[in-house]
Amino acid sequence: VLNGWGEHGPEDEAGFQAMLPEWELFLEWMIANRQNRVHWLLLHAESWPLWSAHADVEWDVPAGIDRPARVGDRRTIRTLTGRVHCHERVVEMVPDQRFSYEQASGLFTSHRGSVDLARAPRGGTDITWSATYRHALPLLDTPRRRRLQVWVHDLASYADSIVSRNS
């Protein structure tokens, strides 16, 4: 986007026009929430279906340029079948460093997750996604860890693809 043409070169006006809405939304969120692109994706509920296994993530009170996301906000997460999977509440937000949430309803109400971000020494962002459960089920530890690893990989890959598409 920054060079003024679409993915297919200087003659790709249609590609350029197609990328503008996503780019404008990205910039709006960056300004509103003072975030890097990884933190932006965590807060931008509409992007979750593009990089996670969730079909829909929706803020109960929409966040944007006029009202940045904040601690106490809730979001609803739906499965691919459209069923409500859970409701989460934001419990901590540190710009460019941490996004933490707890499950407010659903199967694992004792679940608290945290995504920690740190600037990588050679550029980019290091991502650590962790979760704690008040009621431990050792049989589920390995699948839970694997799911978080997949989300970190998918989140980082999607963040990189936004930069590649829009630079």
pLDDT at residue 51 greater than cutoff 60: yes
Q: Which stretch, 5-9, 33-37, 47-51, has highest mean pLDDT? A: 47-51
Compare 37 and 101 and report the one with higher pLDDT.
101
pTM of the model: 0.69
* Predicted local distance difference test score (pLDDT) of residue 160: 79
* Predicted local distance difference test score (pLDDT) of residue 108: 60
Band (89; pLDDT cuts 50, 70, 90): very high
pLDDT at residue 34 greater than cutoff 70: no
Close Cβ partners of 20 (under 8 Å, ≥ 6 residues apart): 1
* Predicted local distance difference test score (pLDDT) of residue 91: 94
Cα separation, 13 vs 5, in Å, equals 6
- Residue 98, Cβ neighbours under 10 Å: how many? 16
Cα separation, 129 vs 87, in Å, equals 18
pLDDT at residue 70 greater than cutoff 50: yes
- Environment class of 96 (CB within 10 Å of its CB; exposed 0-12, middle 13-18, buried 19+): middle
Nearest to 125 by CA among 149, 144, 152, 101: 152
pLDDT at residue 76 greater than cutoff 80: yes
